[in-house]
Amino acid sequence: MKYWRRLAKHPFTDRTGTTKVRQIFQNKFIESAAGYGIAAASVAAALLLTLLLWNWIEPQATPLFIAAIAVTAWRRGKYPSLFATFLAVLSIDYFFYPPLYAFEVSVNNAASAAVFAAAALLISWIDGERKNALRERDRLLTSERKALRAAEEADRAKDTFLAMVTHELRAPLNTILGWTNLLEKGTLDEEKTRHALAVIGRSARTQAQLVEDLLDISRIRTGKFHINARPIELCAAIDAAIESVAPAVAAKRIRLHRDFDERIGIVSGDAERLQQVVWNLLSNAVKFTREEGQIEIRLERAGTHARLKIYDDGAGIRSDFLPFVFDSFRQSDETDKAKHKGLGLGLAIVRHLVEAHGGTVSAMSAGENLGATFTVELPLLAEVCSGEEEEIRKDSNLEYV
């Protein structure tokens, strides 16, 4: 019955969308009928052999029937063996014991019948327990294999991640050391000196961001990550993050469209951390959007929540990787790692930051080269006093670097 309930809830369909419940029902019916057919055939064979060998085995009529029940239980399970028991009892009573109305049933026959019934039921019960034990063993083995594969994948991911961390931290450091060495020699003119200082500053900021991401992940995984929640204006916090990515947007000549509901309301959160969420999502969108592409940012109210959507028409996300896009130590493939620098921790940090604010974050994509949409939902606060609005706006405008 449980099987059919599961089947009704999750029916199978073929390529044309036709439900295969009828075919599955027919297969299960044939399988069940075969089991009961084997039970009937086994009892019939036991009856025939008992009749043929009666002169040698009299007065014990049950041994061959016990064997038939055992074979049925072994091959087809508990319910066919119970059916075989029922047929065996009828056969023994009809062919080998006197009829009840003759009042000739001896104590030995009654005891033999009781022992036979108990033995048959015991066989059925033992076989049922054996099958349950086998199913439990298979389940445990499957679970163990899955856990082992997951552990091996996690180890490989961490090894890959450590190698990537080493490379990503070393690259800006080598740039800083190279230009610092040239500055120390004093061989650069004024223009090249300014360029060297700009490169050093940019590389230092890149390395600082990498280190900060690593520290954030470490705090999150050790439970030492905290937010300083206070009422903030979400529009102002998002605009501050947009200003931070403006140079990167301009460099790739990306069209950035902003569509905000200015009356969205107030949320309780850490302004700096929420700006970090938006900055990570926007940086990710800029990174994977081609030159002269498009990014849309929409902020709207959804009941008691504020909903932020960030859409880009860039590289998109493969369907098989989409469930893991917010996982730590996971990146889509080696091609993406070669094309786009970074540790791939930004989205993992986004998920933890949003959940720490009592919200949710999700990702959608139609596939590779079809863009992606990230949606963040945060709970809104009740209305605040008008005198607090200016202070909230100031707290929300902290610049995220």
* Backbone phi and psi for residue 163, each to the nearest 5 degrees, phi listed first: -65, -40
Name the least confident of 1-10, 83-92, 175-184.
Answer: 1-10
Between CA 180 and CA 172 the distance in angstroms is 12
pLDDT tens digits for 101-150? 444 445 455 556 666 667 667 776 777 677 777 778 888 898 899 989 88
Looking at the chain, the domain(s) classified CATH 3.30.565.10 span: 230-396
With vertex at residue 359, the alpha carbon angle to CA 357 and CA 362, rounded to the nearest 5 degrees, is 135
Contact yes or no for 380/358 (Cβ under 8 A): no
Residue 225, CA distances (Å) to 18, 152, 375 in order? 51, 28, 23
Is the pLDDT score of 5 beyond 80? no
Q: Which residues contact 157 (CB under 8 A, 6 or more apart)?
A: 329, 330
Contact yes or no for 78/132 (Cβ under 8 A): no
Between CA 99 and CA 93 the distance in angstroms is 8
Task: Count the residues in the chain.
Answer: 401
Predicted confidence at residue 78, as pLDDT, reads 66
pLDDT tens digits for 14-64? 444 445 556 555 666 666 666 677 777 777 877 777 777 766 666 666 667
CATH code of the domain made up of 156-222: 1.10.287.130
194's tokens: 């300014």
Name the least confident of 214-223, 226-235, 295-304, 332-341.
Answer: 332-341
pLDDT band for 308, please (50, 70, 90 cuts): very high
**Mean pLDDT computed over 144-164:** 82
Longest CA–CA separation in the chain, Å: 126
Is the pLDDT score of 173 beyond 70? yes
Predicted confidence at residue 3, as pLDDT, reads 44
> How many other CB atoms are found less than 10 A from the CB of residue 54?
14
**Mean pLDDT computed over 334-350:** 64
Predicted confidence at residue 4, as pLDDT, reads 44
Is the pLDDT score of 270 beyond 60? yes
* Backbone phi and psi for residue 398, each to the nearest 5 degrees, phi listed first: -60, 130
Predicted confidence at residue 97, as pLDDT, reads 61
The CATH superfamily assigned to 230-396 is Histidine kinase-like ATPase, C-terminal domain (3.30.565.10)
Q: Which residues contact 69 (CB under 8 A, 6 or more apart)?
A: 42, 43, 81, 84, 85, 88, 120, 123, 124
Is the pLDDT score of 361 beyond 70? yes
Looking at the chain, the domain(s) classified CATH 1.10.287.130 span: 156-222
**Mean pLDDT computed over 163-185:** 83
Q: Which residues contact 17 (CB under 8 A, 6 or more apart)?
A: none
Closest CA to 220 of 321, 331, 330, 354: 354
Beta bridge partners of 373: 311, 364
Better-predicted residue by pLDDT, 204 or 88: 204
pTM equals 0.55
Predicted confidence at residue 213, as pLDDT, reads 79
pLDDT band for 2, please (50, 70, 90 cuts): very low
